[in-house]
């Protein structure tokens, strides 16, 4: 399978390239960066100590056209440009980018009528197991337990709460029969009054080089249940993303997430 990586010189991009170059059934067909990047023209594997024979390029349309699947962990505006190119060339896509607007998400849904897409806020296998565990816990514990979601990431992350935290909120809210849009509370300050029992709270921490930590706290009377997952390496995301790319092999259309990839439906 021929893989093209977007944002190839970034932290996640480099990790993805390392994972692709280590995969015997995969070939790095292209590595993309934005115009003006100082990495353009360099070997994509240089940063991870593995020569790839692929030069980093800003010509995303050309790189996508010669590939079977694009893996994109960049920014919404860039991912949507790449999405259009994938639709044009019939190239499947794995999207790990977060922070899309409702309109951006709708464009992904529409594109899935023409190409196959895995779109998930977190590709790590352990995190997706945590989604399922949180869902089961919410169904068992019910409305007697208050729900708070705490997440922590490195200082460079630009969106908050994280896409993973929001997905955890969606999963728990659905299990409890609530609409997250109407019950979510983002941080607290000042005289907030007594906690509304139906709310789901979100709290974001940013600092240092934290890769990613997420906890769903179910706080009841006399006990507290916590579902926590800590990512210690970006390689966990890369391994999951490659698993998603392999899952798309042979598919021509459809919108999937990691629960589909892992058979957790």
If you count them, how many residues does the chain have? 265
Q: Which residues pair with 213 in a beta bridge?
A: 152, 230
Contact 20, 12 (CB under 8 A): no
Q: Alpha-carbon distance 191 to 144, whole Å? A: 24
**What is the end-to-end Cα distance of the chain in Å, rounded?**
26
Q: Are 99 and 76 in contact, with CB atoms under 8 Å apart? A: yes
Question: Of 82, 153, 167, 203, which residue is the catalytic one?
Answer: 153
Residue 162 phi/psi, 5-degree rounding, is -65, 160
Helix-helix angle 125-141:163-176, to 10 degrees: 30
* Distance of alpha carbon 265 from the chain centroid: 18
**Cα–Cα distance measured from residue 151 to residue 229, given in angstroms and rounded to the nearest whole number:** 10
**CB contact at 8 A, 83 and 47:** no
CA distances (Å), origin 85, targets 10, 89, 93 = 21, 6, 10
Beta-bridge partner residues of 185: 201
Q: State the Cα–Cα distance between residues 84 and 109, nearest whole angstrom.
A: 12
* 157 given a catalytic annotation: yes
> Would residue 153 show up in a list of annotated catalytic residues for this protein?
yes
| Whether 132 contacts 126, CB under 8 Å | no
Catalytic residue positions, numbered? 153, 157
């Amino acid at each position: 399978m021929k893989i093209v990586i977007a944002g190839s010189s970034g932290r996640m991009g480099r990790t993805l390239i390392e994972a692709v170059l280590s995969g015997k059934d995969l070939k790095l067909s292209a590595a993309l960066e934005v115009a003006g990047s100082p990495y353009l023209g360099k070997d994509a594997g240089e940063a991870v100590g593995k020569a790839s024979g692929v030069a980093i390029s800003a010509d995303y349309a050309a790189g996508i056209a010669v590939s079977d699947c694009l893996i994109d962990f960049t920014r919404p505006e860039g991912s949507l440009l790449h999405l259009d190119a994938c639709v044009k060339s019939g190239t499947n896509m794995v999207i790990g980018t977060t922070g899309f607007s409702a309109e951006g998400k709708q464009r992904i849904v529409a594109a899935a009528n023409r190409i196959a897409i895995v779109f998930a806020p977190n590709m790590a296998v352990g995190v997706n197991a945590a989604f399922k565990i949180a869902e089961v816990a919410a169904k068992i514990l019910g409305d007697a337990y208050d729900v708070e979601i705490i997440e922590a990431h490195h200082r460079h992350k630009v969106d908050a709460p994280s896409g993973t935290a929001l997905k955890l909120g969606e999963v728990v809210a659905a299990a409890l029969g609530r609409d997250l849009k109407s019950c979510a509370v983002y941080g607290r300050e000042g005289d907030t009054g007594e906690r509304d029992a139906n709310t789901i709270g979100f709290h974001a921490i940013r600092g240092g080089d934290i890769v990613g930590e997420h906890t769903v706290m179910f706080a009841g009377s006399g006990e507290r249940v916590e579902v926590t997952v800590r990512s210690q390496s970006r390689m966990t995301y890369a391994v999951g993303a490659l698993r998603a790319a392999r899952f798309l092999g042979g598919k021509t259309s459809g919108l999937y997430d990691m629960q589909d990839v892992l058979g957790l439906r």
